[in-house]
A and B are shown apart, each in its own frame.
Chain A
Amino acid sequence: MLITNAHDYLQRIWPNLPGDILQDLAGIFHEYSAKRKTVLTAEGEVEKYLYLVLEGVQRAYAISTDGREATLVFTYAPSFSGVADSFLLQRPSRYWFETLTPSKFLRANFQDFDAVLLKHPLLERLIRLALSETLEGVLVRQIELQSYTAEQRFRTLLARSPHLLQLVPHKYIANYLGMDATNFSKLLGQIRI
């Protein structure tokens, strides 16, 4: 997919969106690029933007009090990105959002986003549906974390996002799966054979 403008990107997500609404919504997104390992939102900051990923891989991660990282989610095109809860609630983020590879985005700030949703109730409804799916994804991940074995989590991720293996350092994937690097390379070895 090589869509670089907000109009086409949003039309792909919501093919039946009326032209005038699409126009208003597309108008609030602006292009933005970042090098790899750029922190876009730090813990304690209020998320300013809603992102649409054009290129690259990003992750959200929390840092525990003893300094360990916990990778919460990876994002890549085509998808929304950013610290969604902090953005929607306009409250300080509890975790970090960074690029893992050179990334390109379209992004909209909260004031513009809020205004366009107030103007078009249909968008409010579409965003609710999109958030419902996000919530479903978060809860499914909760099940994976609490009741899958390490190997099941590994196989589930590989089935869902096999391309990540060639895109990001494996330490981030191992961290997302909650396993150490040695265990991860052992499992990877089994898959190869």
Chain B
Amino acid sequence: MDANNLLDQHYQQTEAMLDKAVKEWQNLPPQKLTQEPAPGSWSAAQCLAHLNAYGNYYLPAIEKAIQTAQAAGSKPSPEFNSSWLGAYFTKLMQPDSKTKMKSPANAIPPTFLNPAETLAQFIDQQERMLKLIEKARTVNLNQVRIPISIAQWIRLKLGDTFGFYTAHHRRHVLQAERALGK
């Protein structure tokens, strides 16, 4: 797959989530964000807090990996090829995936959280992600590798990391929209 097209696609999908948060969510009464759609179901704020927990791990990890690669003279490759594991994770995370997953314990968001702060952090993280996607154009997406959060010994290609990260975000952003009743 063409590496630049892949990054364009992640950029657009991330920007669409950011647009939604800026145009709609930050202008809602904060208590709407913390409403549970059904007893025991995640509120929109919980969905976003769950994504923020991933961002807190992956954004610094990606940033560091890109900087290290730049310093080591990494050059962009025109093509990106998923590893089988990367493709598998991304498919699993896709919003239309039939697989029901259980979030790891450390990524389960608390029931009581400050909705305005959670949303502000989500917006911040999407802005940072867009910058990282642009920076990634300077390095080889096949060679730069990121340890995954639940198993540090597994190191996914940067291109696959973007793939499953964006898919996972889209999945829970859709869940947040359902929680808001749209």
* Chain A residues proximal to chain B, CB less than 8 Å: 35-37, 165-171, 181-182, 185, 189, 192
Label chain B's interface by main secondary structure.
Answer: helix
Instruction: Tell me the complex Cα distance, A35–B129, Å.
Output: 13
Chain B: interface size category: 10 to 19
By beta carbon, the residue of chain A nearest B126 is A169
Q: A169-B127, A171-B120, A181-B120 are in contact. Are A189 and B22 (CB under 8 A)?
A: no
Residues of B within 8 A of A36 (CB): 15, 127, 130
Q: How far is the CB of B131 from chain A (nearest CB, A)?
A: 6
Residues of A within 8 A of B21 (CB): 169
Instruction: Tell me the complex Cα distance, A192–B23, Å.
Output: 16
Residues of B within 8 A of A182 (CB): 116-117
In the assembled complex, B26 has its CB within 8 A of some CB on chain A: yes
B127 touches A181 (CB 8 A): no
Contact of A168 among B22, B117, B131 (CB under 8 A): B22
Instruction: Tell me the complex Cα distance, A131–B155, Å.
Output: 56
Residues of A within 8 A of B123 (CB): 169, 171
By beta carbon, the residue of chain B nearest A169 is B123
In the assembled complex, B124 has its CB within 8 A of some CB on chain A: yes
Contact of B22 among A169, A181, A185, A192 (CB under 8 A): A169
Residues of A within 8 A of B134 (CB): 35
The B130-176 residues at the A interface (CB cut-off 8 A) are: 130-131, 134
9 contacts between A and B (CB under 8 A): A35-B130, A37-B130, A165-B27, A166-B22, A169-B21, A169-B127, A181-B117, A182-B116, A189-B29
